[in-house]
Amino acid sequence: MDYPRTLRELRAARYKTLSVKDELRLNLIKKLRSGEKLFPGIVGYQDTVIPQLINAILSRHNIILLGLRGQAKSRIIRLLTDLLDERIPIIAGSEVNDDPFRPISAYGRRMLEQHGDNTPLMWVGRDARFVEKLATPDVTVADIIGDVDPIKAAKGGHLLSDELTIHYGLLPRANRGVFAINELPDLAGKIQVALFNIMQEGDVQIKGYPVRLPLDVMLMFSANPEDYTARGKIITPLKDRIGAEIMTHYPKELPAAIEITRQEAWTNRFEDGDQLIVPEFIREVVEQIAFEARDDNHVDKHSGVSQRMPITVMESVISNAERRALFTGEESIVPRISDVYAAIPSMTGKMELEYEGEQLGADRIARDLIKRAAGEIFEGYFVGIDFSRTVQWFDEGNKLLLADTAAASECRDLIEAVPELLETAMIPFDFKRSDTPQLVSACELVLEGLYAENKISRNEEGSYAAVTKAKKDRRGMIYDDLTETGKYS
């Protein structure tokens, strides 16, 4: 497309500029009328966050997203650029995206005075109209608003009080675009005052010199709700300028969580796409771990358990299965429960523990979360199915070790010795008897489910055995099996 290159051509094209909030609103209306998907890649917010976002944009409000870590706040903010026009015209060379019809900077006004209708234009893409800043205590007014540049003054022969000597900060450079600040409560109070003042009054003092900058900006903020309400670091006038306060949340249902991890986890790493087979119950166990962690009293509720945890766990689970395939020469890569245990290093760093949790240790808590998660998924698939003969085999003193490095064929040979385990594990799944890797994975789920119900025990090496009589029928006793490292419960 041949865009107008001068103000005269722009007038001839009958181009009209809009405020950025009107622009976002009109483009949103177009997308809603056409049925186009809004905020692609955002899962689980269709009935909660997204309707509130739509209402806020239609109302031309500034917005703050409140939520714990890993709730897609930053991604939502960045996706707002999809609602901006593909390109807009600015006065060529302007640092603040001056509107050719209504420039706000001294540079823009001077260009119009000197060139009139021949004022040269540039066209700025939507991505260049998005400015993002992480709030930290060391952020200054100069970073956000701007500062006097002595070099500009010397080179141009200007007085320091001349507006042409200003080096503009991030907010003026976001003029006619979206300006986002993440973790708003961490921004110093005096910076919040400067931010509010320039948005409310359109003026600011830089080194004692008053400057008028009637900015046209859509403001987006993010914050942890605990910081926002308890620490009270957002000044009241700034809060008053935020039109919509929208609460984000973790996935409420397992299918939504699975979809997020399927979308985000790095699994497309094999030349042969059929080489990797992830059973659905493995995906469910990985997601259930995060659900269990968010409900665990030993995990800090205020910090939350990020959705990044199941994503990285899934990647580690697949990597451990890949490592096994490389060692054993297997063609198929099929994750098992033992691979979930091997992914514990991807869990422990993503959970902030309460005092009692610190005393128990992150590794022990992670193991218990896996046990409980596998138990929940096991119940869903095998409810009402009798495993008494399998349990009896263990009660007779037999043990079964399915190492995470053992080939599927080797594990199957060991499983065949356990009465009814293989046949019963096949019941809920459409596996063929020749699908050895998937059958072994299903059998491990059964064993872990029986372990979660305290019908058998498991040690840290992954060996299953009989459970002591004292702990029979004590399902739900947390951490009992982990108090003696490496020993059977």
3-class secondary structure for 165-177?
HEEECHHHHCCCE
Low-confidence winner among 114-128, 219-233, 449-463 (lowest mean pLDDT): 219-233
Does residue 398 sit within a domain? yes
More confident residue, 136 or 231: 136
pLDDT for the residue numbered 151: 62
Same structural domain for residues 396 and 477?
yes
pLDDT for the residue numbered 161: 57
Q: Give the 3-state DSSP-derived string for 179-192, with helices as H, strands as E and coil as C.
A: EEEECHHHCCHHHH
**Cα separation of 444 and 402, whole Å?**
8
Beta-strand pair 456-458/244-247: unpaired
**CATH number where 61 lies:** 3.40.50.300
Torsion angle defined by CA atoms of residues 93, 95, 96 and 101, in that order, rounded to the nearest 10 degrees: -10
Q: Quick one: pLDDT band at residue 421, thresholds 50, 70, 90? A: very high
- Residues with Cβ within 8 Å of residue 420, at least 6 apart in sequence: 387, 389, 390
Does residue 2 sit within a domain? no
Q: Please say if the pLDDT value at position 483 is more than 50.
A: no
Strand partners, 166: 148
Does residue 95 sit within a domain? yes
249-258 average pLDDT score: 96
Q: Quick one: pLDDT band at residue 149, thresholds 50, 70, 90? A: low
More confident residue, 214 or 93: 93
Same structural domain for residues 223 and 297?
no
Same structural domain for residues 168 and 214?
yes
Asked which of 232, 247, 262 is the last residue of a domain, the reply is 247
Same structural domain for residues 357 and 228?
no
This prediction has a pTM of 0.86
pLDDT in tens, 345-402: 999 999 999 989 899 999 999 999 999 999 999 999 999 999 999 999 999 999 999 9
Does residue 489 sit within a domain? no
Average pLDDT, the chain: 88
Asked which of 247, 279, 300 is the last residue of a domain, the reply is 247
Low-confidence winner among 39-48, 101-110, 225-234 (lowest mean pLDDT): 225-234
Same structural domain for residues 238 and 262?
no
pLDDT for the residue numbered 163: 66
Same structural domain for residues 139 and 27?
yes
Same structural domain for residues 190 and 296?
no
pLDDT in tens, 459-475: 988 899 988 655 555 54
Same structural domain for residues 313 and 396?
yes
Same structural domain for residues 88 and 124?
yes
Instruction: Please state the domain count of the chain.
Output: 2
pLDDT for the residue numbered 477: 43
pLDDT for the residue numbered 333: 94
Domain that holds residue 450: 254-482
Same structural domain for residues 354 and 226?
no
